[in-house]
Structure 1
């Protein structure tokens, strides 16, 4: 039996999922962790060679399992985290660590772009569809131009982790429209690199990869790097898209009114639309998934990392014990509010300087209250973004939830109660990898459209909202939104 493999290159893990070509069963799965380095405050970097080794491990393991099953891998497609940047030489060898999305070193450059009298930031948002923030490779390149110009000058290529991996796999420097959109350097209308963005970033066109659609395919190149993957000769590689876009597809969320909410280390809330969308105030992203499919929404820096902070640094307990404590407290945490801005914030504030806070603390509040308020704060922030989305494209009628938080029934039920709509979980939590496989099915003609592909997605449990708790949470959301207007 033929298999399709979806690879998800995330911030904390590289995963691979092999499914039968008819999607009737999962044949193999593998995962390998990746380390994020913080050499200085505000920095977040990863070793590209470590990521290549992680990819090699998961592909070799999946290949062995598929062989043992008596099946054959015919296609491999890629989902990848956005906003990474590294410098490479002419042979694709890294000249730097990869600066990842959570790195805030380019705060000053983002501030200059956003607040400059020439309004270049607003102009580029309209071109690119991505709000100005230090996460953008656009701003990271401007930081390099000012702080390490020698590295930028001697780099034959600058691009994302995905471009680095794709070069080793295929011998070509190419980037899909989806990852390119997230760079802040891509004119989404002309489908070309933006002259104005390149000038601001201090980068030449020849240093950037060739632009290709998300359904672009190439054969695996045979070389010393790829021999360790265990993939069969002739396997076809599909470049794929960004993790956010493919998570929507893999969650079966391409129809109007279906909202995807993802919480991993960070988080995002998104809908799929048929036409590009721009927010006049530049608060929402709009990424390309495929021709005629765009993913609109807002990302948060503060998702599962808040629970990690609570567990490891604040309470020094296991995550499960921390979640259990939160269940002891009633909805609304007896008035305690948490603003979850531990690592600055993207949507809805777009302020890298924002910081978190507990508000309305009083004598009755226990450690369990602090946990419940923190979990609620993460969701309240995401639902604030969702209200903004609703003003542009209509109300949510159902939420498809995925990411690490979906493993906690308590946290997912909290989301349903807050949102006041049903929350559905996928049968598999690997929505990015599944989205990559579904995109492959469309690319090779097994389905006619992404709408048809999304119909293949299977679901597990649905959480229904509790009406009384929803009424209480409407007031909590209002108080939260009033509080974040004063965040500094």
Structure 2
């Protein structure tokens, strides 16, 4: 039988999931491989494209072997990849630099300039692209290269994302989907073309950017000695796919109005799917293309699962399970202890790469367990503050679909339901990015007429309902958290 594979290239792992399009609840194969983030200087975050390619080859080879052993055949592979990455390449697609990640803040001065001295240009670019002005976006990263490494800017035949690097190696074509393009700050979303004013500011030539294609665009796998290591045949069709944020919404079945998706992996985001592009006049929300009929609007945070990692490795020196157990022993609201989770600067709602975290109201009674729970609460309070910006444009959500690594903790997910005061629903599979890529493939090949129909195929797991008493507590604590944030930032 036919198998579709969804590949999810994230910040910490490359994952692949093989599913039967007729029965998405049946996982035929799954594989994952880690990727290392390098921090050569303070504020820098890079990855080696060769390591990402090796991780991709490894997971595809494992999945291909498992699928073959099960008696099935891979016919299509689709891609979900992290946003905002930037890589310099030569004319053949070979890397000339490391991949600069979304979490890299070296372009802080360039982003600040577009919000202050060049504010009119910054507002115009946001209105045209739907991408908030921040050091994360390739627009600002290219401007940084223009000032600090102009030789690389001139020497590179191509600039693109990690998606484009992988796609070029697999197909020989320099192409990028509209979804990844809308996260660059370089893309005129309304006209589906590169923005002349953004390109001019960035200092690149149009020919250095990839050809723009829809998210359902397909090409045959180009077999070579290098790509043959994946186990994929020349008959496999590759679907270019979309960004991880957009596909996390689709893979969570969150297409209809009134449904929010909250994702916490290394970072986090809260999003809703809409039918028309939206713009926040203050530039605090993104609006990215999923397909010709769907846009994903929301706000990202730099500080998600990395906060739990910090608590385990730096603060308590306990393992994750022990930290979560300790945190659960403390009542909601942490007896007044508050945490501002800005350990790596912040995107939404502050859009300030220079801010840093803080504990507030520390007193004698607070224990290590209080500090652990306050950190988890702080991550969610921050996401709910982003949600307040979102609902002003989309209307309130009636249910939250939760995914990402945090969804493996029933304690943390229940905390979200208690804070939000609405049900939080998990998917049967937590691999929402890969699932979204498979669902997009189903539309690309005509198995479904629309993404609305595709989303109806998503299977759900447990639903967490808010506890009324804890919700009332959190309403009061959230107000105090917001007041504390306003005083500090």
- TM-score between both structures, scaled by the size of structure 2: 0.99
Within 1, Cα distance between the matches of 2:389 and 2:25?
38
- The SS at the match of 1:486 is helix
CA shift for structure 1 position 24: 4.4
| Residues 282/118 of structure 1: CA separation in 2 closer, same or farther (3 Å cut) | closer
Alpha carbons 1:52, 1:165 under 8 Å: kept = yes
| Residues 421/118 of structure 1: CA separation in 2 closer, same or farther (3 Å cut) | closer
1:430 alignment partner in structure 2: 431
1:171-250 alignment, distance < 5 Å: 171-250=172-251
Within 2, Cα distance between the matches of 1:183 and 1:72?
35
Within 2, Cα distance between the matches of 1:136 and 1:389?
20
- Aligned-residue Cα RMSD (Å) equals 0.7
Worse overlay, 165-174 or 472-481: 472-481
1:9 alignment partner in structure 2: 9
CA shift for structure 1 position 21: 2.1
Within 1, Cα distance between the matches of 2:323 and 2:127?
43
- The SS at the match of 2:308 is helix
1:457 alignment partner in structure 2: 458
1:483 alignment partner in structure 2: 484
Unaligned runs of 5+ in 2: none
Alpha carbons 2:90, 2:158 under 8 Å: kept = yes
| Residues 24/375 of structure 1: CA separation in 2 closer, same or farther (3 Å cut) | closer
Alpha carbons 2:223, 2:233 under 8 Å: kept = no
Alpha carbons 1:306, 1:374 under 8 Å: kept = yes
CA shift for structure 1 position 315: 1.1
2:40 alignment partner in structure 1: 39
Within 2, Cα distance between the matches of 1:472 and 1:453?
39
Within 2, Cα distance between the matches of 1:428 and 1:200?
42
2:298 alignment partner in structure 1: 297
2:331 alignment partner in structure 1: 330
CA shift for structure 1 position 118: 5.3
2:133 alignment partner in structure 1: 132
Question: Residue by residue, what CA displacement relative to the aligned partner does 1:365-421 show, whole Å, maximum 9, x if unpaired?
Answer: 111111111000000000111111111111110000000000000000000000000
CA shift for structure 1 position 319: 0.8
Question: Residue by residue, what CA displacement relative to the aligned partner does 1:72-126 show, whole Å, maximum 9, x if unpaired?
Answer: 0000000000000010000100000000000000000000111125511111000
Alpha carbons 2:113, 2:119 under 8 Å: kept = no
CA shift for structure 1 position 486: 3.0
Alpha carbons 2:179, 2:289 under 8 Å: kept = yes
1:397 alignment partner in structure 2: 398
Within 1, Cα distance between the matches of 2:119 and 2:351?
19
Within 1, Cα distance between the matches of 2:182 and 2:271?
16
Unaligned runs of 5+ in 1: none
Within 1, Cα distance between the matches of 2:132 and 2:19?
36
Within 2, Cα distance between the matches of 1:31 and 1:195?
39
Alpha carbons 1:354, 1:487 under 8 Å: kept = no
Within 2, Cα distance between the matches of 1:391 and 1:236?
41
Alpha carbons 2:8, 2:15 under 8 Å: kept = yes
Alpha carbons 1:248, 1:431 under 8 Å: kept = yes
Within 1, Cα distance between the matches of 2:187 and 2:120?
18
Alpha carbons 1:326, 1:371 under 8 Å: kept = yes
- The SS at the match of 1:391 is helix
- The SS at the match of 2:222 is coil
| Residues 414/118 of structure 1: CA separation in 2 closer, same or farther (3 Å cut) | closer
- The SS at the match of 2:487 is coil
2:341 alignment partner in structure 1: 340
- The SS at the match of 2:7 is strand
Within 2, Cα distance between the matches of 1:24 and 1:103?
37
Alpha carbons 2:25, 2:459 under 8 Å: kept = no
1:360 alignment partner in structure 2: 361
Alpha carbons 1:218, 1:237 under 8 Å: kept = yes
Runs of 4+ in 1 over 3 A off after TM superposition: none
1:256-271 alignment, distance < 5 Å: 256-271=257-272
